[in-house]
Structure formats: structure tokens, C-alpha cells
Structure 1
Amino acid sequence: MKHVKRMDESILVCVYYGLNGERLIRRGHKLATLLDCPLYILTVDAKPLDAFDAEKSGYIERWSELSRELEVEEFIIRDNEKHPIQKVVAEIAREKNITQIIVGQSAQSRWEEITKGSFLNVLLKEVPFADFHIVAVKRPVDEEHETFEKGVRAYVVQDLDNYKIVFTCPKSVSIEGIFFKELGTDFDNGIFKFSHQNKMNEVRIKEGLVTNPHLIHSIYGVSNI
């Protein structure tokens, strides 16, 4: 029998691209678990989904995976959105009967605007029935994007006994993912991230070659990709 959650409380987590999205989702899940209430995740973008670059697509994929893992009520993607963010937040809040909203303060996120007086005042007027949690998240010095360039779409293909990374869609069988190149190197050194069976995986790349091919073998169970 499915567990019935209380409906007098409902939490909305607003995420935008950057390092803090997963932290905010987990913070929201922790609070929703304590309150035994529904949890919703919202992200807003002015561009349509099919126009997202590899980095944005990677975040969407990870948040979708995390939403399934944590069994959130719904992961809401408002793409191709022309309305102001606060209007969208208000619309979703009313539609889902939201009582608490979690947003993050991040140097890399448009949601940081919520911490500024004018925007916050507008949002409070739009959603007077909800409590707001403004979460200040400190960026660790060892996070990926401190030492890696912006992610780009890439492919791993088999090359004799090795696996190499290429940046144009190959005709041969390949693994599609996102490559984060290390800063300050002229070689293709970095991390390649890809999804398999709704889980994110990563392998190290050194001078264009996968350094831990056993992970590829263990996932696919064969020597060929």
C-alpha cells in the first residue's frame, strides 16, 4: 500500500544551472522527509530544451536522475519560458499548493537575484502564502568547475585496445556524454561523464584516452562499446 503524505505542507525547490542544484534538492528532500510531505523541483529557462548545450543537458539529466532516486513528486522543467521567474514560481506554487520554497544563493545562478530587495519584494507579493528559505551555499575550492572548463558534448569510441574521446558524432558505435577539460592544458585531459541505466558515470581522460577502461567494460560487459 502506497504511503500517503500529509497535504497541509508542500515544498518547492528552485534550481538553476550550477554547482548548488543537487545540494538544494537534497536539502529540500531532507525537509520534506522530516515533514512527510510532497517535494517538487522547478527549473526555468528561456530557451527550448532542444536548444540546450551539453552542460545544461547534463544538469537536467542529473536532476531528473536524482528526482527519481529521491522519489520526489515531480521534476518540473519550464523551458522556452517568456514570463519572469517570479511569475513562474508563483504559478507553480499555486498549482501545487506549495507552502515552503527553497532557493539558493550562488555566484553562478540567476536565483541569487532573489536575495536582492526588489526581486524578493516582488516574489513575496506574488507568493504571500509560502515561506521562503534562502540557502547560502559556499562553493568548495575543489569543485569540478573550479578546475575544469565548461562541459562540451563528446563521444568515446573504441580505438584498437583503447578508448578515445572525439568531438564529432562518429559513424561507429560510441558513448555520448559531456567532457570537462582541465584548465591550463593543451591536451584533452579531464573528465568524461555519461549516463547509463539512469545513473551518471565518469571516466578520466588523459591525452584523449580513457585511463580506466575497466569501467566501460564492466558497464557494457563486452570488449566493444
Structure 2
Amino acid sequence: MMNGVKKQADESILVCVYYGLNGERLIRRGHKLASLLNCPLYILTVDSKPLDNFDAEKSGYIERWTELANELGVEEFIIRDNEKRPIQKVIAEVAREYNISQIIVGQSAQSRWEEITKGSFLNVLLKEIPFADFHIVAVSRPTEDEGIDMYEKGVRAFIVSEGEQYKIVFTCPKSRFIEGIFFKEIGTDFDNGIFRFSYNNKMHELKIEEDFVLNPEKIPDEYKHYLV
């Protein structure tokens, strides 16, 4: 789906879509970023079923994403169907094949791509694709009329107690800490974003504004006692 416009070769963007209404919004966000950088844009969807076995709803999304890719001049809409390998292996393979430098993935309660933001899977993904910047796009549910916020590549970080508050730091502290992954909001000079960590096999999310935790009630009591 080449659009005939010469683009920069040093950057290329891959948008990963799986299912649902948010796919179109992710594609449009990727297109906006690709336009700003004047670079190629690719779309990837992965499914364990063969394309011929997609249900009517999934087939409808594929059709709409194909139309949108043509409309926006996307370089290629890549469909990896009947895929039995782990998602991160497929994404890594495509990223290498197409020389991808930035990858956009949606995080939604109704999307399988949400797995990418969870614990060890994220670590595996970052190790699989160390050559690309990974952006997690927080997407509102279809029933909500909210926008999308984009976050930078997740980095290792720590939460420590400071007085009666909790603060994020990026070097391993000598005091007690909670270890997790921090996603900084793009376009901010401060450490604003979200911090995710695993506890009792469950992912927890804290909102960070200018280094400090905005929702300390989300920290498990056991951790609060531990950090004191």
C-alpha cells in the first residue's frame, strides 16, 4: 500500500492491533506520529486462527482496517493468521523484517494486547525487541468518551516512602522499595505517568505526578507496612 511519497528511512512505525473499535483509533494515532516524523507506517494483527475462520465481527474489523490503511497511505497491513507462536516472537520477527524503530500497542480492558503491559511478558518483549522504542497507548473502553494518552517505553523504576508520601526513583535505593515499570507520558518534562508492579500474581497500577504517587490507596497494605 505504498503512497508514492518518499519518506525518511531512519524511522519506521508499527501499530499492533488485535480486536475491537480501538484498532482504528490506534491506527490514526500511528498515522499522526508517522506524519510528524515523515516516516513509513505499518499495521500488524496476529491471530491463532486462519483468516478463513475469522468470525463476522473480526472479519469486519479486518476489512475496515484494510480500508483505513489504503485511505491513510499505510505502507503495508500485515496479517499473521494461523499463528501458533507467542505474540512477542511474531512482533519481533515483523519488527526486524521491516526495520521498525517504534512500536505502538494499545492497552485496553477488552484487548488481548493488554497482556503486553503485564509483568514478565513486558520484560520478555523488551528483550525480544531491544532495537525499537515501545509505546503503550492507554485506550478508553468503547463505552467511554475519553481520549488516548501515549506513554514512552517502559523503564525499570522503584517506589519508596518519603514522609507520608510515596515517590518514584530510578536508581536502586538503599531503603526498602517496590520495584516495577514506569511509563512516562509523552510530551511532559516531569515524571508524570503510570507505574505498574506485580503483587500476589496481580498487576497494580499507580498514577505518578511530578515524581509522587497520586493514588497511594492502591498500594497494598502489606507493602505500606514494608516500606515504613
What TM bracket, shorter-length normalisation? 0.5 to 0.7
SS at match of 1:42: strand
The one-letter code matched in structure 2 to 1:72 is V
Matching residue of 1:110: 112
Matched, 1:137 2:139: yes
How many angstroms does 1:3 deviate by?
2.5
How many angstroms does 1:19 deviate by?
1.8
The one-letter code matched in structure 1 to 2:45 is T
Matched, 1:47 2:49: yes
Matching residue of 2:95: 93
How many angstroms does 1:138 deviate by?
1.1
> Which whole-Å CA distance do the structure 2 matches of 1:2 and 1:65 have between them?
17
Matching residue of 1:31: 33
Over the aligned positions, Cα root-mean-square deviation in angstroms equals 1.5
- Unaligned 5+ segments in structure 2 are 146-228
Matching residue of 2:74: 72
Matching residue of 2:192: none
The one-letter code matched in structure 2 to 1:54 is A
> Which whole-Å CA distance do the structure 2 matches of 1:114 and 1:81 have between them?
17
The one-letter code matched in structure 2 to 1:117 is G
SS at match of 1:132: strand
The one-letter code matched in structure 2 to 1:93 is A
How many angstroms does 1:141 deviate by?
2.7
How many angstroms does 1:107 deviate by?
1.0
Matching residue of 1:180: none
Matching residue of 1:6: 8
SS at match of 2:8: coil
How many angstroms does 1:11 deviate by?
0.1
Instruction: Decide whether the 8 Å contact of 2:110 with 2:141 is kept in 1.
Output: no
Q: How many residues were matched structurally?
A: 143
How many angstroms does 1:142 deviate by?
6.3
Matching residue of 2:83: 81
Give the TM-score normalised by structure 2. Answer: 0.61
> Which whole-Å CA distance do the structure 1 matches of 2:100 and 2:75 have between them?
12
Matching residue of 1:170: none
SS at match of 1:111: helix
What stretches of structure 1 move > 3 A for 4+ residues in a row? none
> Which whole-Å CA distance do the structure 2 matches of 1:19 and 1:107 have between them?
12
- Unaligned 5+ segments in structure 1 are 144-225
